[in-house]
Chain A
């Protein structure tokens, strides 16, 4: 499967030297393959031209960068013309572009339904989940970039490590000492309390809020809206009990905690799960003040 390949990198011709000489049948098949690949390339070009000429296509300008690949080390924008279909989301358009024009186009995605939190990106200057953003709601050309204020790994993929670290810094797990006696006995929680924490439990760890936050951009240690919201989720959950709540308030009151927030609402605006983040942060500030007064 070797000789017919038109262009070779050095590395691959080395591995080739070790392979067996090709049989007649293999040669024929390889020839067929080569022709098929040519046809495919040609078809792709044609499709791209056709798409560019067509009214009902969407023009995407997509950020490209790959630290390892020549020609991509300098960030650039590539333009893709994607045929528009009703109900098409930004994610659909990106997948089409990748599967049709350039298989190296890279972005995270999985659920396609706004629950896995993989595909937060910067679309026409705002943090959005690509799968939940309808193309028809956007101005053209649609500009798609990786989340700002995060290190770009490649194309639209950013390094999420820092975000995860902040999430995990707030002891993001349920803690209580008071379980009911029976093993099959649940803790009681009234509806109002479950309602109170409901919105805060909807976070899908997409990172949009953190990316939109000026404070987080300036203070790398700031816990950020999502982590504070996670703390809120537990602090307000009455099942944990008063003592734990004290501890929770201490965590969010630290130097890089709630007091950094300047109530700019940018996080609340971008959150794809409509979590009232700023309100939650404000409420924690009030709780913290109340709590401190108690000890005076």
Chain B
């Protein structure tokens, strides 16, 4: 067993920032990550970090834009924290040596991004995430923070009181990929989940293979509700064959979208008469698919993104990385031809329910970064708003977990305040099917001392691994791809009731199949078959919750479009969707969105661009 004050799970942007903050607040911190930190998917972010740095700009404007972009499903205390603290956090990165792109006067450059009223997206070429990730890892090396890399966290060690709000998290259980050893990591003060996105729920995604939503699934099964899972951002410009992202920076610099008839459809077909290509991502994604569905796509699949008119010099200066990506992954030369693009899964707005300090309803359990839902992005994230979320909320969670006094949170977690039960009947059974999977925390006497809770969690994980390794059964890969296919086909940018219900049935079948899953590689050394099999279970739980949320939310808000419900319904739906695992019988409920900010209330307006 390993012991630390604070254990951070995941070493992408959010995890690294959390670890640094916790250490600065005096805690003994360890990071546990299934990938070496520099392999984390934060490194793939291209476009930039929003921060109101300049005199002509203000955090209030940033907050207004973010709220509008969120389609009024962001919680004001979280949104305002993001916008107030992003400037100092960005400058801190600069002070840590991050190589930002520069203006002639030597100050950091900013560029326009979709949905922003001011060009406030700070960037480092088209490789902002790479530079941010490496800069923060350098600080972790400098500070000598312990990193357990290539350790896959399998489960949380949480007490098993009936009410999740009374539970406590004492640590995590992790599997050493190198040696096959399973070990407990005791966290005296707190565990911070920073496990990133869940793009692998879909088959066409900009996310990495490792983005399997592990943290969200683990927290869910431990009793923390998943919030707003139906809100998935599909990025309008991904390369058709791989899902590799072509940054919004291309459109920010002036790139233009054309259909097969050479029309600039964002304007010519009236999708966004003011902002055109720079309208919010969901608007552009739906516009593209509509073009394709109406027969104006190229090869019935994609549209063109043209940046040739920007000129070689500007492209090389600001978007060089895009040229490499288009060339290496699609065989297209962005200097001489338009690049093929189509929408792909990109970002999960929803995730682990937290307040503005990253606290979950379980004592000692925090979440930050893409896996968390505070909620900053509500129904739709603006480009350039995720990276600041990592540093602002990573820092907040790190400090809070280390015991720093931060005042009373305004966002409530769990079933407190004005929560309301949902009366939605799903046609298909959801939740645990019995058989393998992590046992629900139920039965028996309540064990609450940290050592026994951790010990029991280690034993459960060991049993599970032994079982998966020793029995015969089917390989997880076909189950995973079945899930990804149905999700991509039916829970896409266009959603309709019948197909969502079919998806739940498909997922039920996949769950049944998963009961027979086994790992055929018997090795204890670097058994990726085992790791992927464990991840697939997480993918299943997340896909189901996502589809449940998509069915229940009978309105069209932000990224969530419903065929039968074509408008935003503020009377009924200014509320978050929450799904609790409830020991294997998922339960849906709601809580109101918080639109009251520090000095003002954000009045829902129509989201036109």
Query: Which residues of A approach B to under 8 Å, CB–CB?
Result: 1-2, 5-7, 9, 11-12, 15, 29, 33-34, 36-37, 40, 66-69, 86-87, 98-100, 103-104, 106-118, 132, 134, 153-155, 157, 160, 164, 168, 171-174, 179, 183-191, 194, 197-198, 201-202, 204-205, 234, 237, 239-240
Contact = CB atoms under 8 A, between A and B. Distances in A.
B341 to A, nearest CB: 15
A62 B39 CA distance: 24
Contacts of A114: 324, 328
Interface in B234-254: 241-245
Contacts of A190: 102, 106
A37 B135 CA distance: 48
Nearest to B106: A188
Contacts, number: 185
A274 to B, nearest CB: 9
Given A109-B209, A173-B97, A201-B99, A183 B328 contact: no
Given A36-B516, A204-B38, A239-B97, A174 B135 contact: yes
Contact of A184 (B87, B131, B469): B87
Given A189-B106, A190-B102, A198-B125, A87 B329 contact: yes
Given A114-B328, A116-B35, A173-B97, A183 B102 contact: no
Contact of B39 (A7, A113, A116, A171): A116
Given A109-B209, A173-B139, A186 B94 contact: yes
Contact of A103 (B129, B138, B471, B475): B475
Interface in B550-603: none
Given A109-B209, A198-B125, A202-B127, A187 B95 contact: yes
B104 A191 contact: yes
7 contacts: A2-B471, A9-B470, A37-B472, A87-B242, A106-B528, A202-B127, A204-B38
A66 B527 CA distance: 10
For the complex of A and B, the 6 pairs showing the least CB-CB separation, nearest first, are A174-B97, A12-B470, A188-B106, A104-B521, A173-B138, A173-B142
A7 B138 CA distance: 50
B520 A113 contact: no
Given A40-B474, A106-B526, A186 B38 contact: no
Contacts of A239: 97
B91 interface: yes
A185 B106 CA distance: 12
Nearest to B206: A113
Given A87-B242, A118-B39, A194-B102, A15 B470 contact: yes
B25 interface: no
A104 B138 contact: no
Candidate in A1, A106, A116, A118 with the most chain B CB atoms within 10 angstroms: A116
A205 B329 contact: no
A198 B321 CA distance: 12
A172 B37 CA distance: 15
B41 interface: yes
Contact of A194 (B99, B208, B520): B99
A68 B102 CA distance: 52
Contacts of A11: 470
A249 B108 CA distance: 28
A53 B66 CA distance: 56
A104 B141 contact: no
Main secondary structure on A side of the interface with B: loop
Interface residues of B, number: 76
A113 B242 contact: yes
Contacts of B142: 171, 173
Contacts of B324: 114
A69 B329 contact: no
A73 to B, nearest CB: 11
A83 to B, nearest CB: 15
A67 B40 CA distance: 28
Contacts of B101: 194
B346 to A, nearest CB: 13
B529 A104 contact: yes
B508 to A, nearest CB: 15
A68 B477 contact: no
A5 B39 contact: no
B467 interface: yes
Nearest to B436: A1
Given A12-B470, A69-B522, A103-B529, A183 B125 contact: no
Nearest to B35: A110
B330 interface: yes
B178 A204 contact: no
A116 B44 CA distance: 8
B118 to A, nearest CB: 16
B525 interface: yes
Interface in B36-50: 36, 38-41, 43-44
B210 interface: yes
A33 B244 contact: no
Given A40-B474, A104-B521, A117 B329 contact: no
B293 interface: no
B102 A110 contact: no
Contacts of A7: 472
B533 to A, nearest CB: 9
A173 to B, nearest CB: 4
B473 A33 contact: yes
B530 to A, nearest CB: 10
B449 interface: no
B96 interface: yes
B134 interface: yes
Given A110-B208, A186-B94, A191-B104, A116 B40 contact: yes
B270 interface: no
B43 A204 contact: yes
Contacts of A134: 328, 331
